[in-house]
Structure 1
Amino acid sequence: MQIKDQLQRPITLNNRPKRIMCLVPSITELICDLGLESSLVGITKFCVHPQHITTKVAVVGGTKQVHYDKIRDLNPDIILCNKEENTLEMIRELEAIATVHISDVNTVEDCLELIEMYGTIFQCLPQAKNLISKITTVKTDFENFIKSQPVKEVAYFIWKDPWMVAANDTFVNYMLSLNNFKNTFQKASRYPEIAMEKVYPTIELVLLSSEPYPFKNEHKSLIQTQFPNAKIHLVDGEMFSWYGSRLVLAFDYFKTWHCTVLTSE
């Protein structure tokens, strides 16, 4: 079987891959939800869903650094990577071990394409089609709901020291737009560091993500001066940045969040 991954790289598979190495946390969850958990032979330490997975499957490192000897010993048939999560240097090393499939997800449509790709690769198309249907249904329902919500200017923080936000060409920025949020920094590239000596009076809402930096309530007071007219909230970063089956939960999370947190202000 010859296919192309989401970077349009040609991949040849002689048989259905039975030993899967996944180096992307959100995709590990997706693989499990497609009924392929028993095929996983290696994951990263950040693969925290399902909660038991790190006790059942070998951990080979993080998303930027892995133990190549462990990966070789696990003898995977395919290694699942992502353009943003994993480095080019890693990909080159991994290609000497097994077939590497690279995802590139910037929209929900990209995610649905990836799920169908996996359905073909792992011969689980009925499960993939079912998941695609669920995501499409909840997304449509949320889009109908969000039409009546006001547009708010926002900043979405992902890191502290240096203070960094999500900007253009990111899945987070796309998810913000679905929520009727105008990202103040959307003209910047990717994840810029911003000047915290400045004041941003037009921003109405500041979102502090739970990942990759684990923002807590005590961080709100550190930036209130820079955002004098903004409400500052902690948000579940997985809902804004994890593509795959997490999207089934994400849109319900967004709706509840809009109906409870924002309407109470």
Structure 2
Amino acid sequence: MEYTDQLQRTIILDKAPARIVSLVPSQTELLYSLGLDERVVGITKFCVHPDSWFRTKVRVGGTKKVNFDVIRELQPDLIIANKEENTREDVAALMADYPVWVSDVHHLKNALEMIAGLGAITQTSARAAALIAEIRSDFSALKPLVTPVPTAYFIWREPYMTAGGDTFIHQMMQHCGLHNVFGNLTRYPAVTPDDIRNSGCRLILLSSEPYPFKDKHLTEFREMVPDADVQLVNGEMFSWYGSRLREATAYFSGLMAGLRKAY
């Protein structure tokens, strides 16, 4: 059977994959949601969901540094990777020896296409279709803020790094009615305190990942931009583009309920 990944590459499999390695945390959780418990044999050290897999599955290194020896021992018949989260060098090396399905997700449409694609190649299309329908319905019912709030979303500290306009995070912000003040930039640019102060942001969101912002960092940003509201947010809801999207809309609704009172 022939399958097409999100880089428009063709992957040929003789049968349904029985030994899958996932190098993408959000897609690892998706594979669990598709009922592939027995067939997933390896995950990364950042694949924290589901907890049962995190505690029991073989870990093949990180998303940026794959342990090829461990993967070789697992003898996978399919590897799941992502254009952004994994390095080009690691993915190219794996492609030389294994079938590798690569995702490339920038917005909700891509995410739903990714779910359908993984459902197809793992022969769990019915489960994937049901999940897609649920997510699509939830996002259709999501009501964004009427007046967009100028917002800066931070993923890193030292240096300060924010989400640009070509990211999945940016798209999730738009679904909420949040105007990304750094949306004119690309990927995850580093910005200075002056950039932040001059951005016009009225809301600053500090993500739980990849940098683990905590309560102690709120004061740092409040002192930098005294007129802005600063909040901690669950980064998985803004950046995980698999089955976590089922929980995202309820989370966004709760966030926006608070913002409607303030803006």
Indicate whether the TM-score tops 0.5: yes
Task: Determine which of 236, 239, 263 is the counterpart of 2:237.
Answer: 239
Query: Which residue of structure 1 aligns with residue 212 of structure 2?
Result: 214
SS in 1 for 2:38: helix
Query: Which residue of structure 1 aligns with residue 12 of structure 2?
Result: 12
Query: Which residue of structure 1 aligns with residue 155 of structure 2?
Result: 158
Query: Which residue of structure 2 aligns with residue 149 of structure 1?
Result: 146
Asked if 1:88 corresponds to 2:88, the answer is: yes
Tell me the CA shift for residue 126 of structure 1.
1.1
Query: Which residue of structure 1 aligns with residue 228 of structure 2?
Result: 230
SS in 2 for 1:11: strand
CA deviation profile, 1:189-220 (whole Å, cap 9, x unmatched): 11000011452362110000000000011111
State how far apart, in whole Å, the 1-side matches of 2:192 and 2:121 are: 45
State how far apart, in whole Å, the 2-side matches of 1:257 and 1:180 are: 11
Bigger drift between 157-166 and 47-56 goes to 47-56
State how far apart, in whole Å, the 1-side matches of 2:217 and 2:241 are: 27
C-alpha contact (below 8 Å) 1:23/1:43 kept by paired residues: yes
CA deviation profile, 1:56-94 (whole Å, cap 9, x unmatched): 210111100011000000000000000110000101221
Query: Which residue of structure 1 aligns with residue 51 of structure 2?
Result: 51
Asked if 1:127 corresponds to 2:130, the answer is: no
Tell me the CA shift for residue 237 of structure 1.
0.1
State how far apart, in whole Å, the 1-side matches of 2:229 and 2:150 are: 11
Query: Which residue of structure 2 aligns with residue 186 of structure 1?
Result: 183
CA deviation profile, 1:5-57 (whole Å, cap 9, x unmatched): 10111211111111100000000000000011211110001101111212221
After TM superposition, where is structure 1 displaced by more than 4 Å over at least 4 residues in a row?
A: none
**Structure 2 unpaired stretches of 5+:** none
State how far apart, in whole Å, the 1-side matches of 2:45 and 2:141 are: 34
SS in 2 for 1:154: strand
Aligned length: 261
TM-score normalized with structure 2 length: 0.96
TM-score normalized with structure 1 length: 0.95
Query: Which residue of structure 1 aligns with residue 166 of structure 2?
Result: 169
Amino acid at match of 1:187: N
State how far apart, in whole Å, the 1-side matches of 2:68 and 2:171 are: 34
C-alpha contact (below 8 Å) 1:200/1:226 kept by paired residues: no
State how far apart, in whole Å, the 1-side matches of 2:229 and 2:59 are: 39
Tell me the CA shift for residue 264 of structure 1.
4.4
State how far apart, in whole Å, the 2-side matches of 1:209 and 1:239 are: 10
Query: Which residue of structure 2 aligns with residue 32 of structure 1?
Result: 32
SS in 1 for 2:186: coil
C-alpha contact (below 8 Å) 1:206/1:230 kept by paired residues: yes
State how far apart, in whole Å, the 2-side matches of 1:112 and 1:42 are: 24
State how far apart, in whole Å, the 2-side matches of 1:122 and 1:78 are: 9
State how far apart, in whole Å, the 1-side matches of 2:260 and 2:119 are: 40
Amino acid at match of 1:134: E
C-alpha contact (below 8 Å) 1:72/1:97 kept by paired residues: no
Query: Which residue of structure 1 aligns with residue 113 of structure 2?
Result: 113
State how far apart, in whole Å, the 2-side matches of 1:159 and 1:49 are: 22
Q: Kindly, what percent of the aligned residue pairs are identical?
A: 44
State how far apart, in whole Å, the 1-side matches of 2:49 and 2:148 are: 32
SS in 2 for 1:21: strand
Tell me the CA shift for residue 226 of structure 1.
2.9
**Structure 1 unpaired stretches of 5+:** none
